Amino acid sequence: MKNTIFILYVVSLLWACDTSTNEVVLTADASGIAENSKVYLSKLGENNQQIYVDTSLVENKSFSFKLNQQNEQELNLIRIDGTLGNFIFVNEQQPMQLTIDPLDLRNSTIKAGKHNQLLKDYFDNLKKLNEDNKEIQENMNNAFRNGNQTSVAELRSIQREIEKESIEERKQIIENNPESVVSLMILGDLINRKKINNQEAKNFFANLGKNIKDHNLGRSLQEQIAKVGATDIGAVAPDFSGPTPDGNKLRLKDAMGKITLIDFWASWCKPCRIENPNIVDVYQDYKDKGLAIVQVSLDKQNQQRAWTNAIEADNLGDWQHVSNLMFWKDPIAVKYGIRSIPAAFLIDEDGVIIGKNLRGRQLREKVSEYLD
């Protein structure tokens, strides 16, 4: 019995020794980097906060780090004194070999597993998009200087198609890799750049793996998605219906164009009346390209005549109007959280809010961005 216990004890020691040597190590070829340069290893915490982890030195054209064995798919960054940029990689809990670009760390390469390959695919997508946009923008500037508006419009259309394809490629990465932290990074990027609406973001997040949702970045992203309100940019605008001046009912979805301005105003609101001529000008320039307008009046009960007279006086008769004549208690205003006017929401053809409270030149620029 004693011999058996001794044998088990020796085996356990051997196993412990084997485990202790099974370290996750990142080694780097740092040719071109000055000897004794300091190298810093950080990790990304919640809210993308960079947290210092370790420091190394470039010696004999190389450096190395022992990586955290507990946190699989931890996002790490490497920075080197005197070198441009930083390099981000995924801790895949396996040996990794990094080759440093001494001119720009962002162009360094790594031999690792599937998550780092996905990260490379993602960065390659963004790099190509930036290069394409730069080339198109140069061509657009030349066409604009030459007064060739037809070419400008064609190039803008090409630019939108290229971005659309890029977004679809990123969405595919998320859908095909629900167990990768890279999908979290891409989803966060799409949300922050307003490239998907809040409902899409919720759907993508719901389909991620449990471990990815529980990742520190996953928890931060879930909080961010939850904070988007019903009328924030990126959310789908609440549908509504209301009485028109002639007593019929109008539903928002039946009045929408390629983009639609939902404008809250009232006959008694002086700032609203001052803004109305600008809305008229923008509408006249873009109505044939797909701009629609629905104005919601917060006039009071028994003020129907004041409402309709203001529509006529301000030349607002070319688009749709609704009002319950209930002042601040108008159910449409309540649904949209209106506490002051003028207040406006610009939505796309899917009902997604793409702009808020755009007035004057800002309104024209945003409409032009989508319709020119």
pLDDT > 60? residue 345: yes
pTM above 0.85, yes or no: no
pLDDT digits (tens, 9 = 90+) for 124-152: 999 999 999 999 999 989 988 888 888 98
Q: Which of 234, 152, 161 is nearest to 192 (CA)?
A: 234
Residue 46, pLDDT score: 74
Residue 153, pLDDT score: 86
Q: What is the DSSP letter of 1?
A: -
**Tokens read off for 90:** 């995924």
Residue 49, pLDDT score: 81
Q: Cα 154–158–159 angle (5° rounding)? A: 115
Q: Looking at the structure, give the CATH architecture of the domain made up of residues 22-108.
A: Sandwich (2.60)
CATH T-level assignment (fold) for domain 241-371: Glutaredoxin (3.40.30)
pLDDT > 90? residue 324: yes
Residue 21, pLDDT score: 43
> Hey, CA dihedral for 92, 70, 172, 128, is it positive or negative?
negative
Residue 40, pLDDT score: 97
Mean pLDDT of the chain: 90
Cβ atoms of residues 219 and 46 within 8 Å: yes
Residue 20, pLDDT score: 41
pLDDT digits (tens, 9 = 90+) for 228-270: 778 888 888 999 999 999 999 999 999 999 999 999 999 999 9
Cβ atoms of residues 231 and 201 within 8 Å: no
pLDDT digits (tens, 9 = 90+) for 348-370: 999 999 999 899 899 999 999 89
The rounded distance, in Å, linking the Cα atoms of 296 and 13 is 77
What is the pLDDT averaged over residues 68-86? 90
pLDDT > 50? residue 339: yes
Task: Return the percent helix, strand and coil in the chain, to nearest 5.
Answer: 45, 20, 30
pLDDT digits (tens, 9 = 90+) for 40-49: 999 988 767 8
What is the pLDDT averaged over residues 93-108? 94
What is the pLDDT averaged over residues 19-28? 71
pLDDT > 60? residue 9: no
Residue 326, pLDDT score: 96
Residue 30, pLDDT score: 97
105 burial (CB, 10 Å; 0-12 / 13-18 / 19+) is: buried
Residue 22, pLDDT score: 53
**Ranges of each domain in the chain:** 22-108, 115-227, 241-371
Residue 144, pLDDT score: 86
Residue 224, pLDDT score: 85
pLDDT > 90? residue 192: no
How many residues are recorded in the chain? 372
What is the pLDDT averaged over residues 185-196? 89
User: What band does 184 get if pLDDT is binned at 50, 70 and 90?
Assistant: very high
What is the pLDDT averaged over residues 211-215? 93
Q: Which of 231-235, 287-291, 314-318 is predicted least confidently?
A: 231-235
User: What band does 8 get if pLDDT is binned at 50, 70 and 90?
Assistant: very low
